[in-house]
Amino acid sequence: MMAKTTLDSGWLAARSTEVHFTGTQLTTTHPPSASTQPWMEAIVPGTVLATLVKNKAVPDPFYGLGNEAILDIADSGREYYTFWFFTTFQCKLSGNQHCDLNFRGINYSADVYLNGHEMVLPKGMFRRHSLDVTNIIHSDSSNLLAVLVHPPDHPGSIPPQGGQGGDHEIGKDVATQYVQGWDWMAPIRDRNTGIWDEVSISITGPVKIIDPHLVSSFFDNYKRVYLHATTELENRSSLIAECSLSIHVTTELEGNIHLVEQLQTQNLSIPARSRVQYTFPELFFYKPNLWWPNGMGKQSLYNVIITIDVKGHGESDSWNHHFGFRKIESHIDVATGGRLFKVNGEPIFIRGGNWILSDGLLRLSKKRYETDIKFHADMNFNMIRCWGGGLAERPEFYRCCDYYGLLVWQEFWITGDVDGRGIPVSNPNGPLDHDLFLFCARDTVKLLRNHPSLALWVGGNEQTPPDDLNVALKNDLKLHPYFGHAEEKEKPVGDLSPRLGDPSQYLDGTRIYIQGSLWDGFADGEGDFSDGPYEIQNPEDFFTDSFYNHGFNPEVGSVGMPVASTIRAIMPSEGWQIPLFNKLPNGYVEEVPNPIWKYHKYIPYSNPTKKVHDQIQLYGDVKDLDDFCLKAQLVNYIQYRALLEGWTSRMWKKYTGVLIWKTQNPWTGLRGQFYDHLLDQTAGFYGCRCAAEPIHVQLNLATYFIEVVNTTSEELSNLAMEVSVWDLEGTCPHYKVHENLTALPKKVTPIVDMKYLKSKNPKPVYFLLLKLYKMSDNTILSRNFYWLHLPGGDYKLLEPYRKKKIPLKITSEVFIEGSTYILQMHVQNTSKKPDSKSLTMVHSSTARQSSGCFVTDSLETVDSGTGKEHEVGWFKGIHKCFAGKSHGLKVSEINGQDTGETMTIKISFEVPSGVSPCVTLRGWNYQGQTIHEALY
């Protein structure tokens, strides 16, 4: 648009029953101020509850049992959470300019007052509103805006036993369904009432550009590419508009230097006060840079700019979008029965996770999205599923997915528990207003369809929409014929024939629509309840043929305990008590968590019904919270590495993909997460990052065969693999190098049986180190470290091993830019005995503020005695952003001697102004060392 101003600051809010003026009075004679009761500073975009928490008017629902002290809308009534939001803004108009007031999302309906004029916004959480306020705007003075926001019509109640979606009444509205609570989430007391997404004013000339649609088509093995573009144009003047409409495509070379790839201009006339649809002639590109998912190539993006000039007025409106040339196809794979995705003609093995939303109170931000999506890319994931009980995610989310290469599976607002099953039995006919649902769905498609990361639309979670909605969605989202033949055979080469039509004139036309998450190549494909399981597993079970019987699992979940410092940050001291371990008659242990852990949905590390021993107790008795959380991280790492390695071991033979339930928590929950709500990674994060490497060496825990995984499109040859076994005494009873290996593209290659278990006296606990490297230059492609016990054994011998003292030499380099610290640590094991190659498991590298507000932990491994140096990647923790100083680069060396293997670790974090951070390195058998003089 020609000029856009986001209204994201200066808002006030007050409960409607405490305000004694009308909307007309508030926006004319009686505007409120921050010093006037009952008005308070408001969070916009945000929700009523987010504003109340900000002003400490209610307890923090994310801390301890604070949520229980907040009045639920079922008990208070809807009026209690009906709120006024108020702000002011400036807007100068001239000539034939027009001004629109835009709301990208309100939950659930609203009455808008601007300078004394009333406008009513219809119901629906997932719809945009654009109001022409040209004749209401004060160009020469401040504009007063008041919005009365009404909660969902059917907020429902919360049964004493809780459950999935409470009493399911929320399903009668077109809104998020998780807000009545789930097995991973406490109820949201206001049901997310508020102006929850962007508010803006936009200024255009007499003609406005509305929702352009971009589509690319490929020929000659992706060498010839055509860009199709269609847009709607609205002439709001009383005269015919003689227009010049142009589209140009640029690509960024470096910095702010852009290269114009294509430019096309068309002349057209638009009748007075009318809307027309215009389609550009195709734009041709030869060998453009393609957009690839994470792990398959670069995420090349082109900036597409559409501008309209009106004769006698100049530029009237403009629109731009970063667009990626790529083609996504899928079909049901004959060999596995799972849905197989292809990007740019290349099959992609899906390894990703389920996503609810970044914050349960809808405190959404570009910065938070950037961190969230970066974390997923760092885990080597290539898909995120936006679950049907959550959001149609925002453009800022999709822009990050575009940039980092995360394919997105986007569901509409249907879930089985709320829409057709559950206790009590829910409404099988979905929302009451089917026309509203379809309007929101179509508007969401228009909002998101130009993002290259968007891979497919799905009707709902574990349920299909009601029949009439499902048929309508299938029709709306039908594929253009060019995109409709995702089979193995070659497609005809040639331009799109006229009979096929222009794909950009479809609502989407480029992506499949699947009616539900358990249908058509997902789970059993028939809609039966066939996803899961969601509990702790024996790691070796993930590798067995019987673990999961279908080709693509959209949900499989497990544990997610954070580190101890997170527990202390989100709970009072009574929540720091570790679970009771009750031994059952069958010999298995039942964990009994404290009430606060139970409220925060803790999932135990044992599963007696599935014959899974307590995985934390495998390491011995637990002393306290720190010991429990440390051992939990070891389990997290093993659990999720095994899950992904087990799935990948059967790539294309049994499986086409898996999505883990779930990657993160929109609340301070204690289950199913790779980083907590404070953005601190669990060790499961690193287990996934290891297992999902595009090129990976791994141990099959069921067969004890060592395998090389190559998910790339390139054949790898002249490889070598080093296999070494280490015992607790530091000796190496088994060492073998396998040379001249080849890893075919998109294949899992078994290499050798790990025969140590079959040796005469294998140790009850031992370490296995696998390295895959190029023979030409010894570059390490994959490094994988296991701590293992004999079948039926445990890790209790590791407890006395903690007393061993390992000498480490640490050098660190620090670069400070503003409030961001980037720390690179080189950690070297300086053990001197060449015949006693000691090994240490370094558990945590902890970045701490002096206020003790946060920590960043990782699970990494260091071995010594080989004399070789290598790097194993880096981990990152991003925390609250504050202003800070730039001190440049400093280097510090602490202790030690110049021998042994070195590991390089990179940390990035942010600190408040005036606070001096320090970094602490702790290990299983390393008592800790603080590096702080290098950080000043």
Greatest CA separation for the chain:
94
Q: Are residues 288 and 334 in the same domain?
A: no
- Containing H/E element for 566? helix 564-570
Cβ atoms of 585 and 691 within 8 Å: the answer is no
Cβ atoms of 745 and 756 within 8 Å: the answer is no
Residue 817 is a catalytic residue: no
- What pLDDT score does 544 carry? 96
Cβ atoms of 307 and 315 within 8 Å: the answer is yes
- What pLDDT score does 862 carry? 30
Print the SS3 string covering 159-216: CCCCCCCCCCHHHHCCCCCHHHCECCECCCCCCCCECCCCEEEEEECCEEEEEEEEEE
The CATH number assigned to the domain holding 111 equals 2.60.120.260
User: Of 70, 56, 664, whose CA–CA distance to 381 is shortest?
Assistant: 664
DSSP string of 362-403?
A: ----HHHHHHHHHHHHHTT--EEEE-TTS----HHHHHHHHH
Q: Are residues 659 and 746 in the same domain?
A: no
| Distance separating alpha carbons of residues 669 and 185, to the nearest angstrom | 7
- Containing H/E element for 48? helix 48-54
- What pLDDT score does 43 carry? 97
Q: Are residues 127 and 212 in the same domain?
A: no
Q: Which position among 462, 707, 860, 901 bears the catalytic label?
A: 462
DSSP string of 618-652?
A: GG----SHHHHHHHHHHHHHHHHHHHHHHHHHTBT
Q: Are residues 333 and 390 in the same domain?
A: yes
| Distance separating alpha carbons of residues 576 and 569, to the nearest angstrom | 10
Residue that terminates a domain, selected from 636, 656, 682: 682
The CATH number assigned to the domain holding 588 equals 3.20.20.80
- What pLDDT score does 1 carry? 52
User: Of 371, 243, 214, 261, whose CA–CA distance to 307 is shortest?
Assistant: 243
- Beta-carbon contacts of 784 under 8 Å, excluding residues fewer than 6 positions away, are 690, 696, 697, 698, 699, 769, 770, 771
Residue 221's Cβ-count burial label (10 Å; 0-12, 13-18, 19+) is exposed
Residue 555 is a catalytic residue: yes
| Distance separating alpha carbons of residues 659 and 643, to the nearest angstrom | 11
Beta strands in 775-817 (DSSP E): 780-789, 808-817
User: Of 531, 598, 601, whose CA–CA distance to 560 is shortest?
Assistant: 601
In a domain, 367, yes or no: yes
Cβ atoms of 193 and 108 within 8 Å: the answer is yes
In a domain, 698, yes or no: yes
Q: Are residues 413 and 459 in the same domain?
A: yes
In a domain, 849, yes or no: no
Alpha helices, DSSP H, located in 317-365 = none
- What pLDDT score does 898 carry? 39
Sequence-distant contacts of 886-890: CB under 8 A, at least 24 apart: 886/816, 886/817, 886/818, 887/816, 887/936, 888/815, 888/816, 889/813, 889/814, 889/815, 890/813, 890/814, 890/934, 890/935, 890/936
Residue that terminates a domain, selected from 263, 283, 312: 312
Q: Are residues 243 and 276 in the same domain?
A: yes
The DSSP secondary-structure symbol of 337 reads S
Count: domains in the chain? 4
User: Of 812, 821, 814, whose CA–CA distance to 912 is shortest?
Assistant: 821
* DSSP 3-state of 18: helix
- What pLDDT score does 889 carry? 39
Alpha helices, DSSP H, located in 449-508 = 467-476
Token digits of residue 274: 């009318």
In a domain, 390, yes or no: yes
| Distance separating alpha carbons of residues 647 and 399, to the nearest angstrom | 29
In a domain, 899, yes or no: no
Note the pTM of the prediction, 2 decimals. 0.92
Q: Are residues 255 and 339 in the same domain?
A: no
Question: What residue type is 342 in one-letter code?
Answer: K
* DSSP 3-state of 273: coil
Q: Are residues 768 and 628 in the same domain?
A: no
Residue that terminates a domain, selected from 268, 285, 312: 312
DSSP string of 858-898?
A: ----EE-SS--B------------------EEEEEEES--S
Residue that the structure tokens 């079922």 belong to: 74
Q: Are residues 568 and 431 in the same domain?
A: yes
- Beta-carbon contacts of 330 under 8 Å, excluding residues fewer than 6 positions away, are 339, 340, 341, 342, 456, 486, 512, 521
How many other CB atoms are found less than 10 A from the CB of residue 774? 14
Strand order in the sheet with 241-254: 257-270, 241-254, 302-310, 314-323
Q: Are residues 196 and 213 in the same domain?
A: no
Beta strands in 40-167 (DSSP E): 40-41, 83-89, 98-103, 109-114, 117-121, 129-132, 143-150
Residue that the structure tokens 């070195």 belong to: 902
| Distance separating alpha carbons of residues 513 and 491, to the nearest angstrom | 21
Beta strands in 389-453 (DSSP E): 407-411
In a domain, 141, yes or no: yes
| Distance separating alpha carbons of residues 620 and 627, to the nearest angstrom | 10
Q: Are residues 401 and 273 in the same domain?
A: no
Q: Which position among 198, 411, 555, 860 bears the catalytic label?
A: 555
Residue that the structure tokens 């003075």 belong to: 141
Return averaged pLDDT per consecutive 10 residues of the chain, 936 residues in all: 88 98 98 96 98 98 98 98 98 93 98 98 98 96 97 95 90 97 96 98 97 96 95 97 96 73 94 97 94 97 97 96 97 97 97 97 97 98 98 98 98 94 82 98 98 98 97 97 64 56 94 98 96 97 96 97 98 98 95 98 96 97 97 98 98 98 97 96 98 98 97 97 94 96 97 92 96 96 97 95 86 88 89 48 36 29 31 28 34 43 86 84 81 55
- What pLDDT score does 651 carry? 98
The CATH number assigned to the domain holding 741 equals 2.60.40.10
In a domain, 611, yes or no: no
Q: Are residues 339 and 447 in the same domain?
A: yes
- Containing H/E element for 435? helix 434-448
| Distance separating alpha carbons of residues 593 and 591, to the nearest angstrom | 6
Domain with 475 in it: 328-488+502-598+620-682
CA 398 to chain centre: 10
In a domain, 918, yes or no: no
